[in-house]
A and B are shown apart, each in its own frame.
Chain A
Amino acid sequence: MSTLEIRDLHVSIETDQGVKPILRGVNLTISSGETHAIMGPNGSGKSTLAYTIAGHPRYTVDSGTITLDGEDVLEMSIDERARAGLFLAMQYPVEIPGVTVSNFLRTAKTAIDGEAPALRSWIKELKGSMEALRMDASFGERNVNEGFSGGEKKRHEIVQLELLKPKIAVLDETDSGLDVDALKIVSEGVNRVKENTGLGVLLITHYTRILRYIQPDFVHVFVDGRVAEEGGPELAERLENEGYDRYLTGSTVG
């Protein structure tokens, strides 16, 4: 049983116009087996939250805490966070020329586990995960994300999720750019990992569409850098019908 706790988190970024606050006091608690949807309009700070949890250097934490099972996440380097059990499925996974998918996955698995996986079971596991996400075996010999379509990149993210077995995963707009078929494949992958490993999920999305396939236990509406409203799955349905307009009375983050 793992718990990621975010307490009164304030985060800013450097821009040409000076320091710009993005997150203004975020509170969230995500435990194993739970799925939390974070929904909000563009610019509300959803992706900033995702990248701050992962430790991207662009974001400065001004105050507040993030802990994983009581351990101070903000004190950890990017790779230490991953080894501690955090995972970020990115909205725009980057290409890494010259590094094959199979080499990358094996290197990451070795880093996370602290030892190289046994070859035979690893190959079997890799093959099974790629098949389940409808990725041809030839992807193993291709360079990471190079020439992948949008959908292939997202499926590759979920293959990593399945193989690296994190405790808590942040899925940053994993639904964006996917057609319905690809969305189903990706969602089934996430659900399978949840079932097999008791993964806790923080699902960041603009639209309610993915929530038809990945059922949230909790829905948090994110506006202007903080949680404006919280509820159960019924809140997502209301957002589906009403949109974000009623939250957007004051200023918004650009």
Chain B
Amino acid sequence: MTSAPSAAPEAAPLQHAHGPGSPVPVQTRSERFASASHADFPPVTGRELEWRLTPVARISDLLDGALDGAPFPATVSPAEGVRVEWVARDDARIGSAGLAEERAAANAWSTTEQALVITLTAEEAVTVTVDRTAPDATPRAAHTIITAAPNARGTVILDHRGPARLTENVEIIAEQGSDLTVVSLQEWDDEAVHLSSHFGRVERDARLKHVVVSLGGAIVRVNPSVHLAGDGADGQLLGLYFADAGQHLEQRVYVHHIAPHTVSRVTYKGALNGEGARTVWVGDVLIGRNATGTDSYEQNRNLVLSDGTRADSIPNLEIETGEIAGAGHASATGRFDDEQLFYLRSRGIDEQEARRLVVLGFLLEVVQKIGDADLEARLLGLLEDELAAVEVV
């Protein structure tokens, strides 16, 4: 393997003319430069719009270095109506939902030797868990494609553990009439670094529920883009994160309403505790000029549990048509609500338990929207562990 990225695949449907160095500044979110080739992106300085809130000095191996492009370990739980295969990089499905928009994603794109393709075909809802445990801290690349065939239903949980240094792309396609839930659960070891770009395409009357849960890892940056491409497509984007001391958890969410009568809801909630706990949420919503009758709402809420933390929360809304049903956004970052604590304590619940309930409740509001009882119970357990590890004051 060499540090030079190999040739890009042919399929590049979202490639655009306004590249870096173009005299026209990028105005609209959909016009952001995209390419499968690492060499098309200039070196990252940390001043770029998409990198300025990320500790880029600590991820130079993933931005610029040689990556191991062999298949990233993945153990897929067997289920009826689910096809699992590893395909070569010239497979036509690669690039069908999106294309890398920054250097680390392009580095992964051009290095990955094979893509893991998971296809749900059954109308009977299934749950597939993909255990992705990194064996060591070798910088690696990965490419995953998750597809729900027309009218198929199911949930795919990408479960991440170990000391990874991973940059990857995940393509998600919800075909016509399908109902797909994709969960990316980051339970990485403390020192892990994970940069992940998700590209979702939701077709006519299909529904994609996309969930990002980031709890472990030193630097975790999961950026989901979802294109609501067909009439009546529905995108629910949920996120949950808990940053402890020194952790950097970032998520840049982008919802593109392309077709009419599409609906999106973006709800990300996070808690920060400890010196240097750091979170970033950027939420871009673009309602295209053909996307009449759309309904969108995005919100991010952060609960600050101690001094020494920083949460960035940046909602952006672009609307290119006047004929929409609704569009709104909200962002709030704050400490405990004293009135909530008073209410609980006035019912005999002691202060520590009341704080625990408020934090847990704050985060569980997102968990409750996932709609998978087993996963919800598991996430509750993980959040209880997070809370047990910190003295909430």
Contacts and interface: CB of A to CB of B under 8 A. Distances in A.
Interface string B323-350: 0000000000000011110111111111
A214 B368 CA distance: 40
Interface stretch (A22-30, A39-47, A89-97, A228-236): A89-97
B319 interface: no
Contacts of A97: 361-362, 365
Given A56-B342, A90-B343, A94-B337, A99 B361 contact: yes
A79 interface: yes
B348 A96 contact: no
B368 A94 contact: no
Contact of A57 (B342, B344, B357, B361): B342
Contacts of A98: 360-365, 367-368
A93 B343 contact: yes
B342 A77 contact: no
B44 interface: no
A88 B346 contact: yes
B342 A96 contact: no
A107 B367 CA distance: 20
B358 interface: yes
Interface in A210-251: none
A79 B344 CA distance: 8
Given A57-B338, A94-B339, A97-B362, A79 B345 contact: yes
A79 B365 contact: no
Interface string A152-184: 000000001000100000000000000000000
Interface string B347-378: 11111011001101111110110000000000
B19 to A, nearest CB: 44
Main SS class of interface, B: helix
A112 B350 CA distance: 10
B340 to A, nearest CB: 5
A99 B346 contact: no
A18 to B, nearest CB: 21
Interface string A72-108: 0000011101110001101001111111000010011
Chain B CB within 10 A, most for which of A87, A93, A96: A96
Q: Which label, helix, strand, loop or mixed, suits the secondary structure of the A interface?
A: mixed
Interface string A111-139: 11000000000000000000000000000
A32 B343 CA distance: 24
Central interface residue in B349, B364, B365, B367, by most chain A CB within 10 Å: B349
Contacts of A144: 343
Nearest to B368: A98
A99 B357 contact: yes
A78 B361 contact: no
Contacts of B360: 98-99
Contacts of A57: 338, 342
Contacts of B342: 54, 56-57, 78, 94
A177 to B, nearest CB: 18
B346 A78 contact: yes
B357 A112 contact: no
A111 B361 contact: no
A65 interface: no
Nearest to B365: A98
Contacts of A99: 357-358, 360-361, 364
Contacts of A82: 345-348
B350 A111 contact: yes
B362 A111 contact: no
B48 to A, nearest CB: 36
Given A57-B338, A107-B357, A96 B343 contact: yes
A3 interface: no
A143 interface: yes
A143 to B, nearest CB: 7
Interface centre among B340, B347, B354, B367 (most CB of A within 10 A): B347
Contacts of B346: 54-55, 78-79, 81-82, 87-88, 90
A112 B344 contact: no
B347 A112 contact: yes
Contacts of A93: 343
B211 to A, nearest CB: 16
B323 to A, nearest CB: 29
Pick from A78, A107, A111, A144 the residue with the most CB of B within 10 Å: A78
Given A97-B365, A98-B365, A107-B357, A164 B347 contact: yes
A180 B362 CA distance: 35
A99 B344 CA distance: 11
Contact of A160 (B345, B347, B358): B347
Contacts of A104: 344, 347, 357
A79 B368 contact: no
B230 to A, nearest CB: 32
A143 B349 contact: no
A83 B348 contact: yes
Nearest to A99: B361
Contacts of A56: 342
Contacts of B362: 97-98
Given A79-B347, A79-B350, A98-B360, 8 more contacts: A54-B346, A57-B338, A94-B343, A96-B344, A96-B357, A98-B364, A107-B349, A112-B348
What 8 A-B pairs are tightest by C-beta distance, nearest first?
A98-B361, A98-B364, A82-B348, A108-B347, A99-B361, A111-B348, A78-B345, A98-B365
Interface of B: 337-340, 342-351, 353-354, 357-358, 360-365, 367-368
6 contacts: A77-B345, A78-B345, A96-B343, A97-B362, A98-B361, A99-B357
